[in-house]
């Protein structure tokens, strides 16, 4: 029995719009123009207990709107969904006690108070047994390395510290389903890795179901076996991550910093030139050729620094859309569900 099911789930927004300028502002007093924007368009998927699923798409693709519906923040305008057998937007307290939404850009913590105070309130609000709660809190503090920040007001914490506190808040009551919206946004690479490890550990030890949205490919590759790609509110791919990587991102991005100006050099023999400044060059090369190209660049040119990275997920998806002649409505991959 799937733990999360969405069927023809849709959400539209009525958005007021007008031209720029004073005249347009005055005109809008008399006659307001509205446009219906479809944020999520009849999406279908189901997720089994214990899965970690990456929910990917460019900004405005509809992934966060879908999460908002699944967590009960938004009512859909069409279709249906159930999470743990409940209709999310009925917001039944028993349902809300079993889910958690961590938002990279929105805090559950109380800004002016020490993080420890937020944790105390959270345990009381979620009716966590005092003895159990204390034990879970101590575990989380240790796992997340929060010992040094508990007494500091939240507003004085660094982004990474705050994000770890958000995770602690979210997991204090042991939710069965975890919705993570950009959980590593803005934090440094070391912290990103720790957060990923922690999420994977929580999934393993508690069998929790996790839906993750992220712009960082590294988050997705580290955590998700399955990904759902969404754009313009429609699911374009639902299947194993391996298939997505081969299909949508069969290339790497190599960036080199040079000792002297590269003007006049021909970089097309190494790969597709996608960016060039005086001493910095960015190339797109086939995934399997990346290592060889990197070696050649180091041998041929006065390279100060060289990085090989997966392309940003937005670029990958955008490129696929640009290259694909298929209509957006047609799925690129086979459904895993």
Out of 28, 38, 82, 108, the only residue in the binding site for another protein (CB under 8 A) is 108
Q: Is 8 in the site for another protein (CB under 8 A)?
A: no
> Which string of DSSP letters, residue by residue, matches 31-65?
--EEEEEEEEEEEEEEE-TT-EEEEE-STTSSHHH
Residue 97 near residue 177 (C-beta atoms within 8 A)? no
| Structure letter (DSSP) for residue 77 | S
Give least dist CB 136 to another protein, A: 16
Contact pattern from residue 188 through residue 207 relative to another protein, giving x for each residue in contact according to CB under 8 A and a dash for the rest: --------------------
Give least dist CB 112 to another protein, A: 5
Out of 70, 81, 101, 283, the only residue in the binding site for another protein (CB under 8 A) is 101
Out of 40, 96, 217, 317, the only residue in the binding site for another protein (CB under 8 A) is 96
Residue 244 near residue 54 (C-beta atoms within 8 A)? no
Out of 60, 127, 250, 302, the only residue in the binding site for another protein (CB under 8 A) is 127
Q: Is 80 in the site for another protein (CB under 8 A)?
A: no
Q: Is 97 in the site for another protein (CB under 8 A)?
A: yes
Residue 219 near residue 196 (C-beta atoms within 8 A)? yes
| Structure letter (DSSP) for residue 75 | -
Q: How far apart are CA 282 and CA 147, in angstroms?
A: 42
> Which string of DSSP letters, residue by residue, matches 84-135?
TTB-GGG--HHHHTTEEEEETTB--S-TTSBHHHHHHHHHHHTT--HHHHHH
Give least dist CB 120 to another protein, A: 6
Q: Which residue ranges make up the site for another protein (CB under 8 A)?
A: 13, 64, 68, 71-75, 89, 91, 93-94, 96-97, 100-101, 103, 105-108, 110, 112-113, 117-118, 120-121, 123-127, 153, 181
């Amino acid at each position: 029995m799937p733990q999360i099911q969405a069927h023809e789930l849709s959400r539209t927004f009525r958005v007021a719009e007008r031209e720029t300028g004073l005249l347009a502002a005055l005109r809008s007093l008399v006659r307001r123009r509205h446009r219906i924007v479809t944020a999520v368009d009849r999406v279908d998927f189901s997720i089994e207990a214990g899965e970690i699923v990456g929910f990917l798409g460019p900004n405005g693709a509809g992934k966060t709107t879908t999460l908002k519906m699944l967590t009960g923040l938004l009512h859909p305008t069409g279709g249906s969904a159930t999470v743990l057998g409940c209709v999310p937007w009925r917001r039944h307290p028993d349902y809300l006690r079993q889910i958690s939404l961590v938002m990279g850009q929105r805090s559950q913590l109380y800004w002016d108070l020490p993080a420890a105070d937020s944790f105390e309130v959270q345990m009381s609000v979620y009716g966590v047994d005092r003895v159990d709660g204390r034990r879970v809190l101590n575990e989380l503090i240790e796992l997340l390395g929060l010992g040094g920040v508990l007494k500091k007001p939240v507003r004085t914490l660094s982004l990474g510290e705050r994000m770890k506190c958000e995770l602690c808040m979210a997991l204090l009551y042991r939710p069965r389903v975890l919705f993570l919206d950009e959980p590593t946004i803005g934090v440094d690479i070391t912290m990103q890795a720790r957060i990923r490890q922690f999420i994977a550990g929580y999934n393993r030890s508690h069998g929790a179901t996790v839906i993750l949205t992220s712009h960082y490919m590294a988050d997705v590759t580290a955590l998700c076996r399955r990904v759902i790609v969404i754009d313009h509110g429609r699911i374009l791919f639902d299947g194993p991550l391996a298939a997505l990587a081969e299909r949508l991102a069969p290339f790497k991005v190599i960036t080199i910093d040079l000792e002297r100006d590269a003007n006049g050099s021909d970089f097309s023999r190494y790969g597709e030139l996608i960016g060039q400044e005086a001493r910095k060059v960015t190339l797109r090369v086939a995934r399997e050729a990346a290592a060889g190209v990197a070696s050649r660049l180091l041998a041929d040119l006065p390279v100060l620094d060289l990085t090989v990275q997966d392309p940003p997920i937005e670029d990958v998806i955008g490129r696929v859309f640009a290259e694909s002649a298929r209509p957006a409505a047609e799925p690129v991959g086979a459904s895993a569900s």
